[in-house]
């Protein structure tokens, strides 16, 4: 009976699109969905409205309230405009920045958004062509804007597009603004409420000057210019995987002093179809295959790849036998933060007011390094807006030197307030030059970190569950974890459980409940064991997935012992996977 009720509801909603002031192409697609015997696509397209998650608005392109199209983009932009007018009513002029990536329809959505903002009387700065997400964040701050948007679905498959909304500090929108914007969007009950007819006089095209200013800021982050001078010819392969990274990363590397940047011509082709990869996600090993082949062919030492909107970075380095190994997001974080803290220590730049940030699902080994070096570390939720929130709250108190998350996002400077692959690529190359100056490879540097601070291994597993049925299944899984808490993990007793939905933790060793101090609740569960294992479980905020993050620890006293440590870690991880049935 519930299915019949749901089908009736989505049918009514779809019929309203046929009657409304929508274009012929949209109405034709809606009619096809209504006429199809398989009603699952109709239900998926209309059973809900797209909402802002940890990464904003994101969905499959097509007709429907749960799809990315000019009307859902239009509603989001009009709702955001209405909210900005309320929040900044005292200003003579409200200003916004608009950027977009390489995806199909991205330019169209960006231009339509520019028209809507300008129709609402806003000054609009529209990038001339595709640009990385971090440059949009930077431009908002530099131009003194109140908001901005980036049209992108990040690393999602080609069927997707999305809409990231930013506030006046250059960070993605946080509460209460996110919910208030959604409330404004929900008040738009008709497509006729959207002001599509723009004012071209209020739209200014920006590009090259902003690129130069951004790269100048990246150059200021360099801590080892002498090492770069001596090792400037390190061979490195870079690929934007058909996306925005190609507009800034090579120029930033050159500006820092690197002279031997090797490209992958096939992947320099800008395309929303991502023709050379199954997925344009640098977290996926296959996405780097072509770049690694180019590195083997040319004798390069490093491989760097960026996702379509240029905020994530994937890397590969040569191991002790000269073969390329992928560096995962946790390892990248370790390398980045170890370097930034160690190098500042070497240069005498630590004043006691520095801090770093990691997300709660990122390796705890980062915390060990920071604690030993006397540098404050903050934990936050997944999503870079939370890192940006901590930066903002500490602006006049402490100095931010770096932060990131296990999902291949990092930010080294605070002139941007989102993850930034441009500065991250430059920093990765700089670290390679610094290590080489000390007679080490990047692989040996990573080994040294493990030997000094302890070995850890982290694995992320995602279970994809699409559509409404999938969303229901994920909700059921989270309820089951809460109703039946795990007593052991990998043979080790669970000593601490954190439930961020309740902002409560139970310490079984001390037999006490703890209040978790976080800015808001989040649907995340964490288990910690006696021997240091950590398991985190959470539904994705941007994709139809439930994610499991497993972290195990061991020790090694020599490079040779690291092999045994990894073997033991793999055994623990496999046992935990069996216990979880994943």
Rounded CA gap, 527 and 406, in Å?
18
Q: Is the peptide bond before 176 cis (omega within 30 degrees of 0)?
A: yes
Contacts of 176 (CB under 8 A, 6+ apart): none
Of 113, 154, 224, 227, the catalytic one is 154
Contacts of 8 (CB under 8 A, 6+ apart): none
Output the CA torsion 279→283→286→292 (10° steps).
130
Rounded CA gap, 46 and 83, in Å?
25
Tell me the two tokens of residue 429: 């190359």
**Which runs of consecutive H residues, i.e. helices, occur in 122-264?**
133-142, 177-186, 208-220, 225-230, 249-256
Q: Which value, in Å, is the radius of gyration of the alpha carbons in the chain?
A: 24
Contacts of 402 (CB under 8 A, 6+ apart): 336, 337, 340, 356, 357, 410, 411, 412
The DSSP code for 56 is B
573: Cα within 13 Å, side-chain hemisphere: 19
Cβ count within 10 A of residue 22: 19
Distances from the Cα of 484 to the Cα of 61, 480, 507, 508, angstroms:
38, 6, 17, 15
Closest CA to 16 of 66, 48, 64: 64
Distances from the Cα of 571 to the Cα of 297, 568, 574, 576, 577, angstroms:
35, 5, 5, 9, 10
Tokens 């602006």 locate to: 395
* CA quadruple 408, 413, 415, 421: dihedral sign: negative
239 DSSP β-pair partners: 305
Q: With contact defined as beta carbons under 8 Å apart, do 103 and 150 qualify?
A: no
Q: Is residue 360 helix, strand or coil?
A: coil
* CA quadruple 532, 537, 540, 544: dihedral sign: positive
Distances from the Cα of 40 to the Cα of 61, 68, 69, angstroms:
16, 17, 19
Active site residue 28: no
What does the DSSP assignment read for 285-348?
GGGGHHHHHHHHHHT-SEEEEE-TTS-BEEEEEE-TTS-EEEE-HHHHHHHHHHHHHHHHHHTT
So which residues are the catalytic ones?
154
């Amino acid at each position: 009976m519930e299915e019949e009720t749901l089908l009736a509801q989505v049918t009514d909603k779809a019929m309203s699109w046929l009657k409304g002031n929508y274009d012929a192409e949209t109405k034709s697609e809606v009619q096809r969905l209504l006429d199809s015997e398989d009603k699952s696509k109709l239900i998926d397209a209309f059973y809900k409205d797209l909402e802002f998650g940890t990464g904003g608005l994101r969905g499959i392109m097509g007709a429907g309230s749960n799809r990315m199209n000019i009307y859902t983009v239009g509603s989001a932009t009009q709702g955001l405009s209405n909210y900005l007018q309320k929040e900044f009513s005292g200003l003579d002029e409200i200003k916004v920045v608009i950027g977009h990536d390489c995806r199909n329809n991205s330019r169209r959505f960006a231009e339509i958004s520019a028209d809507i903002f300008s129709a609402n009387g806003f000054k609009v700065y529209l990038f001339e062509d595709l640009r990385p997400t971090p440059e949009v964040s930077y431009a908002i701050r530099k131009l003194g804007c109140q908001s901005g948007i980036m049209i992108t679905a990040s690393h999602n498959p080609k069927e997707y597009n999305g809409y990231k909304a930013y506030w006046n500090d250059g960070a993605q929108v946080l509460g209460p603004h996110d919910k208030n914007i959604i409330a404004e969007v929900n008040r738009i009950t008709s497509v006729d409420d959207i002001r599509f007819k723009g004012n071209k006089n209020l739209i200014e095209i920006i590009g090259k000057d902003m690129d130069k200013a951004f790269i100048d800021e990246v150059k200021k982050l360099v801590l080892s210019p002498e090492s770069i001078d001596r090792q400037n010819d390190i061979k490195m392969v870079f690929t934007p995987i058909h996306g925005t990274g190609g507009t800034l990363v090579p120029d930033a590397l050159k500006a820092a002093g690197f002279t031997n940047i090797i490209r992958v011509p096939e992947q320099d082709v800008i395309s929303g179809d991502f023709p050379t990869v199954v997925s344009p996600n640098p977290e996926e090993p296959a996405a780097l295959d072509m770049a690694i082949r180019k590195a083997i062919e040319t004798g390069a030492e490093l491989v760097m790849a960026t996702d379509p909107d240029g905020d994530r970075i994937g890397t590969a380095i040569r191991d002790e036998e000269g073969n390329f190994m992928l560096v995962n997001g946790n390892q990248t974080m370790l390398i980045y933060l170890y370097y930034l803290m160690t190098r500042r220590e070497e240069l005498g730049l630590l004043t006691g007011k520095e801090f770093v940030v990691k997300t709660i699902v990122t390796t705890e080994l980062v915390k060990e390094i920071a604690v030993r070096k006397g540098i404050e570390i903050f934990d936050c939720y997944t999503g870079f807006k939370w890192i940006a929130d901590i930066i903002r709250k500490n602006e006049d108190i402490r100095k931010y030197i770096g932060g990131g998350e296990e999902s291949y996002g990092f930010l080294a400077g605070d002139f941007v307030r989102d993850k930034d692959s441009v500065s991250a690529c430059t920093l990765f190359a700089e670290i390679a030059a610094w290590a080489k100056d000390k007679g080490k490879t990047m692989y040996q540097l990573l080994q040294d970190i493990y030997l000094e601070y302890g070995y850890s291994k982290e694995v992320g597993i995602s279970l994809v569950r699409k559509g409404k049925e999938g969303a229901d299944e994920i909700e059921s899984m989270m309820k089951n974890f809460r109703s039946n808490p795990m007593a052991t993990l990998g043979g080790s007793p669970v000593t601490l459980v954190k439930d961020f939905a309740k902002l409560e933790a139970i310490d079984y060793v001390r037999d006490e409940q703890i209040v978790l101090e976080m800015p808001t609740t989040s649907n995340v569960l964490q288990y910690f064991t006696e021997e240091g294992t950590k398991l985190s479980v959470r539904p994705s905020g941007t994709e139809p997935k439930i994610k499991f993050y497993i972290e195990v620890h061991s020790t090694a006293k020599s490079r040779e012992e690291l092999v045994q440590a990894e073997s033991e870690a793999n055994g623990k991880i496999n046992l935990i996977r069996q216990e979880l049935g994943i």
